[in-house]
Chains A and B, each alone.
Chain A
Amino acid sequence: MGSLKEVRSSIEEAYKKKLDRPRIIVGLGTCGMAAGGTKVMAAIETEVEKLGLDVDLDFTSCIGMCYAEPVVEMGLPGAASVVYGGVYPEDVAQLIESHMVNKTPVTDKAEIQISAGGATYEGIPVMEKSPYYEKQVRSVTSRLGRTNPERIEDYIATGGYAGLEKALTMEPQEIINQVKISGLRGRGGGGFPTGTKWQFVADAVGDKKYIVCNADEGDPGAFMDRSVLEGDPHAIMEGMMIAGYAIGANEGVIYCRAEYPLAIKRLNMAIAVAEEMGILGDNIMGTDFNFKLRIKAGAGAFVCGEETALLNSIEGKRGMPRVRPPFPAHKGLWQKPTCLNNVETFANIPFIVRNGGDWYASMGTEKSKGSKVFCLTGKINNTGLAEVPMGITLREVVFNIAGGIADGKKFKAVQSGGPSGGCLPAEQLDLPIDYDSLISGGAMMGSGGLVVMDEGTCMVDVAKFFLNFTQLESCGKCTPCREGTKRLLEILERICDGLGVPEDIDTLERLAKTIKTSALCALGQTAPNPVLTTLRYFRNEYEAHINEKRCPAGVCPELLTYAIVEDKCVGCGVCIKACPVGAITGEKKAAHTIDASKCVKCGACVPKCKFDAIVQA
């Protein structure tokens, strides 16, 4: 292929024409499919055929509003397109008739509208002004939910590969300088300055260098890398190619966990079509630059997200971390200098090259530039994907974007940074989200998962949950992590079971400190964080479990008892039917009783009682 500009104009024209057609687009990211998007798509196809409508049907990736899946976008020429949420096959006929035939949007199902210059509708929030998107800045996620990720034309028509095209006219050092100016820090969580890393690899001596993309996102509650991989695969490839040109590498590997089959499928498609078009391979865009790319599917070990364990895994070895130094920049894949960045880091690169480092640095805080994609999960109203400027507060994210706590409950904590992050309490809600502030609060940026917890969450139980995860996922190489997390977990289990003793808190702190300071890799060094931060902010809950044998949040089953308040019980017998073990007895119209020795504390009786006569104590 010669200049991309030659093909770009025709692609752009076709893309514009496509936007000027009546169209229905279904969100078919993994979240959309899981919510039933594929069935919705089938229902739409049937309905369109039945009515004989002249409508383009297409699909896209996740737009970010996972809480509203399945999501369907409908657009008519000259008008804003409307994104409907919670669309099920039975809704399809009415939506199509109203929106596509009668040109009247169904306001109560509409989440947002995207104007793109077209006329807007009354009563539907415009995307940029809607509660979910108002505080967001979309660059890495700008194509998510907007383009078809399986079509390179959509990518090119929306500015794709313009960054690579520009980069190929620049001196490699000039590109590295722009990345340095941008202030971009590694989005995998560690936050190492990307430009500095690239410089190390560029300066490293080696006959062969590699680019490796870490797409082994394994944190519970994190799916930003998956969303970008599924929604914009070419952006990652473009970022890797630019990196390859900048540091002098002609080969790249994307290490993607096998649990992301859709991401792997779309990456494979993207690689094949880019090779076909001369964007990837030999003499890229008619230049001397060659770059080949392959995917390595990881077998699903959390530790393989650790960069040196990941390199071992690519080499076919057991995924265990290597000691550093030497760092991968000097001795990485096959002992050659390797530039290893994560998905989001690479996806930022084309924007930085196109718009310049200064543009990127204008967003964010002094030491954390640009934007960050977060996954909002837990007890919130709006779970989903949000790209926000660095420096935004936790409060804005939880209460504005995520829509606050679900079911009118009170906020208790937000867990930032995956299983090895920390739980921050309400007092820390005004903490700006940037690398250093989160660490000062005892948490960390991690890859970008935010798990919100409400008053019904037991913080000892939360620490137990995360320690269970890290214990199972420890690679077993180093003693503090392998043995230490096991003992931490056992102590937490004991406390939750009401068997804790006052010395346990000291033992937890002592073990946590040793693991943190002496473990081999970041998995072990950060594994005690959930224990340390919950002890720091919620120590009273530990003390209640140990000293009073009481779980303040009413979560730990061994510490709960159920009783019937005699005055309130009308003897209706509903609870007797609900109890799976026959622990409740009583005559009709007389107060019932619960036999504590039989009760398995499942709590099934509580919601069934219309008279609030059953209490937890």
Chain B
Amino acid sequence: MSTVALTINGQEVTVPKGTRLLDAATGAGFFIPTFCHDENSPNYGGCRICVVEVKGARNLVASCCAEALDGMVVETESEAVVEARKTILELMLANHPVDCLTCDKAGDCRLQDYAFRYDVKAPTLGGERKDYEFDDSNPYINRDMNKCILCAKCVRTCQDVEERAVISLAYRGFNTKVAPALDGNLATSECVSCGRCVSVCPVGALTYKSLSGKTRSWEVAKEQVTCTWCDAGCQFDLLRKNGKAVGVVAKAPSEGRPLCLKGRLGLELRYNDEPMAPMIKKGDQYVEVSWAEALGLDEIIEKLK
């Protein structure tokens, strides 16, 4: 395999040809923040928080997309890079509720982590803020578009499943937002509540309704479990608080692992000490159903009788 040699923060690094700068740098032990980067749908380059300085380049370079080339000289935390990252964080915070005290994502939020790292304490720019209605129409997923930083990971991960593509970016400029068809809510959309979008959201824009207000990220212990409802073998985290199982959340989907509601519900029933009653969409409405119906087990149970 051919390799390339480059200098990152003064350190000689050799990586296979075709490696992205992000991977080359993180592989060498350097930190680079990312919001929109997703191994499963790479080369998006939207959030720009991962920019680095490449000697000779006209502008800062998004390390999640740029390929490491022979002889490159890269700085991952130069003055210009830090300044750009701080400004990008300020721009995001100028338009993001700073309700970390009560946010379900506190402790597990990249925006919070990076703001801490780059010492961005409060929104400084002022101006108009988004004021979208909170979408709690879906029984499983809460959508707070005021917290969305538009990294579009949810959009891409939803579109990666054939015939799904429930959400997309809509509108332009400051009004750009992630929206289901006709900018409706999740309940009226074709959403199947699989939770792929929730699993990739780096901030508190998409959260599990079942966990809302129940736990803080630092209070829970995670235990990885594998779903056996089909042969995809999707992985989930079982969350335990004070020894009690409180929820099952999807780990990021990867290629060949579709994630589905049925799988997650099955795991909830199996592991959760107090699972919420399942809801299934019938016609236009979500209605509470039995576990047997939610998991499609009616027929089998009947036969077992």
Contact = CB atoms under 8 A, between A and B. Distances in A.
B46 A520 contact: yes
B65 A485 contact: no
Given A318-B168, A325-B67, A476-B169, A517 B92 contact: no
B47 A479 contact: yes
Contacts of A484: 87, 91
Contact of A520 (B45, B94, B150, B175): B45
Interface stretch (A90-98, A364-372, A401-409, A508-516): A508-516
Interface residues of B, number: 37
A514 B127 contact: no
Interface string B109-149: 00000000000000001111000000000000000000001
A518 B51 contact: yes
A519 B48 contact: yes
B84 A471 contact: no
A480 B45 contact: no
Interface string B73-98: 00000001001100110011011000
B305 interface: no
Interface string A459-501: 0000000000001111111111011111100100000000000
A483 B91 contact: yes
A487 B91 contact: yes
Nearest to A511: B87
A511 B46 CA distance: 18
B48 A479 contact: yes
A483 B95 contact: yes
A483 B174 contact: yes
A6 B131 CA distance: 69
B88 A471 contact: no
A525 B48 CA distance: 13
B173 interface: yes
Contacts of B59: 516-519, 525
A517 B60 contact: yes
B65 A483 contact: no
Contacts of B185: none
Mostly, the A contact residues are: helix
Nearest to A476: B176
A477 B168 CA distance: 12
A479 B49 contact: yes
Contacts of A478: 45-48
A301 interface: yes
A478 B88 CA distance: 10
B92 A483 contact: yes
Contacts of B92: 479, 483
Nearest to A477: B46
A477 B173 contact: no
Contacts of B125: 487, 507
Interface in A270-308: 301, 303
A391 B65 CA distance: 38
A520 B44 CA distance: 10
A477 B176 CA distance: 8
B88 A480 contact: yes
Contacts of B84: 480, 514, 517-518
Interface string B153-183: 0000000000000001101111110000000
Give the residue among B43, B126, B176 with the most A Cβ atoms within 10 A: B176
Given A514-B84, A518-B48, A520-B45, A476 B91 contact: no
Contact of A477 (B65, B87, B94, B152): B152
A487 B88 CA distance: 12
Given A476-B169, A477-B152, A514-B88, A482 B176 contact: yes
Given A479-B49, A483-B91, A514 B150 contact: no
Contacts of A517: 59-60, 80, 84
Contacts of A490: 126-128
A471 B174 contact: yes
A490 B94 CA distance: 12
Contacts of B173: 471-474, 476, 482, 485-486
B62 interface: yes
Contact of B150 (A476, A485, A486): A476
Interface string A338-352: 000000000000000
A436 B130 CA distance: 41
Nearest to A469: B173
A479 B46 contact: yes
A487 B172 contact: no
Contacts of A477: 46, 150, 152, 169, 176
Contacts of B127: 486-487, 490
B70 to A, nearest CB: 15
Contacts of B126: 490
B267 to A, nearest CB: 35
A485 B175 CA distance: 12
Give the residue among B65, B92, B127, B152 with the most A Cβ atoms within 10 A: B127
Contacts of B43: 322-323
A541 to B, nearest CB: 22
Contacts of B46: 477-479, 520
Given A323-B62, A490-B128, A517-B80, A476 B172 contact: yes
B86 to A, nearest CB: 9
Nearest to A524: B48
Interface string A436-477: 000000000000000000000000000000000001111111
A491 B28 CA distance: 41
A549 to B, nearest CB: 20
Contact of B176 (A475, A516, A520, A525): A475
A518 B128 contact: no
Interface in B39-58: 43-49, 51
B24 to A, nearest CB: 16
B145 to A, nearest CB: 13
A373 to B, nearest CB: 27
A487 B83 CA distance: 17
A10 B255 CA distance: 65
A226 to B, nearest CB: 22
Interface string A30-58: 00000000000000000000000000000
A11 to B, nearest CB: 47
B183 to A, nearest CB: 14
A482 B130 CA distance: 13
Nearest to B49: A479
Given A482-B173, A483-B174, A486-B128, A520 B88 contact: no
A479 B87 CA distance: 10
Given A479-B49, A479-B150, 19 more contacts: A301-B172, A318-B169, A323-B43, A471-B174, A476-B176, A477-B46, A477-B150, A478-B47, A479-B48, A480-B48, A480-B88, A485-B173, A486-B174, A487-B91, A510-B83, A511-B87, A516-B59, A517-B59, A518-B48
7 contacts: A482-B173, A483-B94, A484-B87, A484-B91, A486-B174, A517-B59, A518-B88
User: Which 5 A/B pairs are nearest by Cβ-Cβ distance?
Assistant: A476-B176, A483-B91, A323-B45, A514-B87, A490-B127
